[in-house]
Amino acid sequence: MAARELARVRTKFVEKVSKDMISQLLDDLLDDRVLNDGEKDSILEENVKTRDKARALLDRVKHKGDEASRKMIAHLYERDQTLCSELGLSCSQPPQQAAQVKMETEWSTTLVHATDAFWNEKQKDPNIYPVEEKSIANRVALLITNIKFANERLNRNGAERDEENMEKLLSDLKYEVVKYRNLTAKEIGDALIQFSRHPKLRETDSVVVVIMSHGKLGAVLGVNCEDEMSADVFPIDNIYQHLGSEKCPALLNKPKIIIIQACRGGGKGAVLVSDNANQGLVCDDVSQPGAEGGMEEDNLRYVHKEKDFISLLSSTPDTVSYRHTVFGSVLIQYIVEVFNTFANTDDILELFRKVMQRSEDFVDGNRRQMPTIDRVSTTKRFYFFPGH
Position 175: which residue type?
A: Y
- DSSP character for 352? H
Question: Contact, 192 vs 244, CB < 8 A?
Answer: no
Q: Is the torsion defined by CA of 216, 220, 223, 225 positive or negative?
A: negative
Torsion angle of alpha carbons 44, 47, 52, 56, nearest 10°?
-60
91 catalytic residue (yes or no): no
Q: Catalytic: which of 91, 263, 283, 324?
A: 263
Helical (H) or strand (E) element with 211: strand 207-212
Distance (Å, whole) CA 361 – CA 123:
35
> To 10 degrees, what angle do helices 19-31 and 66-79 make?
130
Helix (H, G, I), strand (E, B) or coil at 219: strand
Read out DSSP for 91-135? ----HHHHHHHHHS----SSPPPPPHHHHHHHHT-TTB----HHH
What phi and psi, each to the nearest 5 degrees, are found at residue 44? -75, -40
214 catalytic residue (yes or no): yes
Q: Catalytic: which of 75, 198, 214, 242?
A: 214
The alpha carbon of residue 28 and the mean position of all alpha carbons in its chain are separated, in whole angstroms, by 25
Q: Please name the residues in contact with 209: beta carbons below 8 A apart, sequence gap of 6 or more.
A: 141, 142, 192, 195, 239, 243, 256, 257, 258, 259
- Would you please indicate which residues are annotated as catalytic (active-site) residues? 214, 263
